[in-house]
Amino acid sequence: MSTIRRSTAGNGSLQRPLSTEDEEPENIFLFIPNLIGYFRIFLAILSLYYMPLHPRTCCLLYTISCLLDALDGLAARRFNQSTKFGAVLDMVTDRCTTACLLVFLASAFPRWSIVFQGLISLDLASHYMHMYATLTMGGSGQSHKKVDEGRSWILKQYYSNNVVLFTFCAMNEMFFIALYLLSFSSPLLSPSLLQTNKSTSSLQPGSPAAPKPSMLFTNPWSAGAMEMARANKLDSTVPWILAGISFPVMFGKQIINIVQLVKASKWLAEGDVAERKRIRDSKKI
């Protein structure tokens, strides 16, 4: 509703009404939850930079970035700054950071690369299909976290309880972080980590089969080489414990991803059937 204010000149003249159109629009990009989201992206990029040679630094940065995922939601509710942009930013950040970690694990464990590639595809496909089905079938104003219990009881429990949602996401990331640490510290999973190849001992250093050490390893005086030397001597007990604890929850989250993909596909198919029936009925008329 417009308001009228008197001139400060004291002549009794009235200025033009102030309407809502005169108000400066809010800058959604500078909302506190979104600023936290940008900081998460910054930490994630830093963790990727340190990922090949600095496992301790990488884990610290990656873990902080994941934990901030809960903080931006609290900030959105606390300051009444929940936005569609923030929700999408949060989801995209989660999907991209997890995918990047899985890409590293695929290179660290080549024999299991197809499993990690499948997990990346399942994660991206299920969330994209769920988001698209929610927007097209549920309406543009409906959140992807608002799931009808009649459509999927599992997804209803997963998205409606913040504690359950955070636990599944945190344990899922914990399992992959544990595998990441084991790629540096476990001779069982990475046999070549602490073993030397004796078959090339008789080869000359100049031959292609036995390149110079400088071509394979970083400078021995560099920080990366020092961190790698420490990591190779790490006890893998703690990462194995973390992997064992988080594996059941991680496996459960993949089941939820499959359910989410199937339910979203069926929801879209129902929309297609209804649309085709509407077109047929209109032609008959």
Just list the catalytic residues. Answer: 94
CA 229 to chain centre: 30
Under 8 Å CB-to-CB from 239, ≥6 apart: which residues? 178, 179, 181, 182, 185, 186
Tokens of 227: 């961190």
Residue 62 CB coordination number (10 Å) = 24
Contact (Cβ atoms closer than 8 angstroms) between residue 61 and residue 140: no
109: number of Cβ within 10 Å = 16
Residue type, 84: K
Query: First and final CA of the chain: distance in angstroms?
Result: 47
Residue 249 CB-density burial (10 A; 0-12 exposed, 13-18 middle, 19+ buried): middle
CA–CA distance, 55 with 183 (Å, rounded to integer): 10
